[in-house]
Structure 1
Amino acid sequence: MKLLKIAFWFVVIILVFIFVIPLFLPDNVQIEAKTNIKASPETVFRQLNSLKNWSNWSTWNQADSAMTVSYSGPDFGEGAVFNWKSKVLGNGQIKIVNSLAYSSVRNELDLGERGRAEDEWVFKKLGDSIQVTWNFRAINLRYPLGKLNGLFLSVTMKSFQLEELAGLRDYCQKQPLPVSVNIIEVKPAKCISIADSATYTELSAKMEAGFTALFKKAEAQKGSITGAPFALYYNWDTAEQIHYRLGLPIMETKQLACDFTQEGGKALMAVMKGSYDQFERYHNEIQLFAMENNLQLSGAPWEEYISGPGNTEDAANWETRIYYPVE
């Protein structure tokens, strides 16, 4: 008889926990966690704005080595989607629904039977650090199990957030500084120029010969050089022909007529100091900056050679300015 009473009250307690307590629980649960990261806003933002980059720092998926994942949509920003299937962690989806460059990223989470959620990552500059605030919101929790899950999340989620933020912090603080990109106004410049094409392996030698010819032409005609030499790239195809134009800004005279005008207008510009093996990284980051800030590229990019092998053998003193025109 005593065992029956114990069993009865045990069942009552379980029923109260499942059906009564959820009556007093909220429909939505919000949990917030913060950390400070000594890194640039671009570095932190790019780790969160690309769902593929989450594997660099997140330990969440390590709980199930058999988890299957897939990605769809763009590689980063609004519309990027991450799907997972796991016997341990369940199935779900994360989708980026709002992205504001270097300021915030907001996601929607579909957790299947566990309901839906939102999270938002907000970045704030604090001295030499970035304060990252992660807001997680479980929304429209269903009675009764959804609300009980919300209660569970309110107890356990904070420690999980802090662990993930620590991984993000440790990863970002090891990364090199990003390329600094500025939006500037470029003045038009009249030039003498050479339009040509070359394979990737021919390019360096043909450019050197072309610039030598331009400087000799300016010297022979007593032309006044008004700017640094540049190379304008109409395409970039390392497997085929690269079409380009070499230019030297001059003051036009009766003896020396200009044959090309480098158009002015708004452009993205980055200053590269050092050897030319950095070119690919700089070009890629300028293009990434344009996409992150919803800027439309509107013409051929060009490289302006302020100093280089012709000025000094020390590559550390070489300076190249890279431009991308934008609308």
Structure 2
Amino acid sequence: MKALKVILIIIAVLFGGYCIWMATLPTEYDMERTAVIDAEPEVVFTEVNTLTEWPKWSPWYKIDTTAEYEYSDVVTGEGAYYTWSSTDGNMGSGKYTNTTVVPNEEIVYTMEFEGMGGSEGYWNFEPVEDSRTKVTWGFHTEFDFFSRVWGVFMDDMLGAQFEEGLDNLKSVSENMPKKEASPAADISVTQVESMPYYGITDEVSWADMGSDFFAERYGALATYLGEDMKNTLSAPFAIYHVWDEENKMAKVEVAIATTSTKPGNDRIKKGNTYAGTVVKGVHLGAYDKTGDLHMALYEYVGNNNYEMAGSPWESYVTDPGTEPDTAKWVTEIYYPVMQSSTATAE
């Protein structure tokens, strides 16, 4: 009996000492790792922002190669997520979600661990000299009293994984196939958000697709929208749903983005523009001279492991009514893309 009492006293003393030590530990934990990658910010950003690209570089995927993953319908931008389920105790189950995305600059994310609560983190993409990128991968979590001890080991465990992930991301980004665009083609990879718009869609021969074709349709849209033309969200644009080389025909949707709540009619339809990753080109000059840029964009998509994710569109930034000099007309051309299935499989 006396021996048991001594044992209980020792246990109580040890437990008390453990609690005192725990009380000295921080209730929050912050960690970050940084790497400089020899690739432009939009290249590195796209690898991180596109969740289906993570298997190429994330160290977490090799912890349990039999783990099951599910992805949101849209795998880029704010709200994109993936879930994982593993029988490996080092992984368990959980969910990763992009909560804030600033294209080519920052991603804020949350991670929810089944039975363990959640945490948050961030990615920063900072351009540095020689077209390189300083990438910072950060993580923040909070502990209850008896979980504080995990903070003692967190840096060694998680820090090593972050370092491995950044090394892999560096290798993937720096070895991505590239093709230089022509000097006149200002091409970049970026993100766009969806906008509500009103559009008129027609099939038209290339020969009839001149200034009168567009002027009539933009005029009809402006007349229908009336005062709501004051609430436009972008320059007028045209979506090219079909471009038929053989028959020299096109299916074109002439459109204006606006916050109007009008219902549309038989000719004028409401829609929402594409949201996600795009390859963007900027053309300076007359509208009928955009062919070279379209070709450069098409080649860029193919040579950088992308595939088309929707219909391309042209945004007519300069108003010909106020700028008669065609050499000063600015046209932005967007090709919606996603990483090619072939590249992902590799």
TM-score, with length taken from structure 1: 0.57
2-structure distance, mates of 1:162, 1:276:
34
- 1:161 matched to which residue of 2? 162
- 1:133 matched to which residue of 2? 136
- Of residues 91, 106, 109, the one that matches 1:107 is 109
- 1:194 matched to which residue of 2? 207
Contact 2:239–2:314 (CA under 8 A) maintained in structure 1: no
SS for the counterpart of 2:139 is strand
Is 1:63 matched with 2:60? no
Is 1:244 matched with 2:250? yes
Residue deviations 1:172-196 (CA, integer Å, cap 9, x gap):
10013477437xxxxxxxxxx6148
* Distance change >3 Å, CA 273–CA 242, structure 1 → 2: closer
Q: How many residues align?
A: 232
- 2:153 matched to which residue of 1? 152
- Counterpart of 1:103, as a letter, is E
- 1:96 matched to which residue of 2? 98
* Distance change >3 Å, CA 5–CA 170, structure 1 → 2: farther
Contact 2:239–2:313 (CA under 8 A) maintained in structure 1: no
- Of residues 248, 272, 278, the one that matches 2:299 is 278
SS for the counterpart of 2:176 is coil
1-structure distance, mates of 2:247, 2:6:
88
- 1:211 matched to which residue of 2? none
* Distance change >3 Å, CA 93–CA 172, structure 1 → 2: same
SS for the counterpart of 2:78 is coil
Unaligned runs of 5+ in 2: 189-205, 210-237, 252-279, 284-291, 317-329, 336-346
Identity %: 20
Report the RMSD for the aligned CA atoms in angstroms. Answer: 4.4
1-structure distance, mates of 2:120, 2:114:
14
- 2:282 matched to which residue of 1? 269
1-structure distance, mates of 2:30, 2:108:
14
- 1:22 matched to which residue of 2? 22
- 2:75 matched to which residue of 1? 75
Higher Rg of the two aligned structures = 1
- 1:142 matched to which residue of 2? 144
Give the superposition deviation at 1:59.
Answer: 2.2
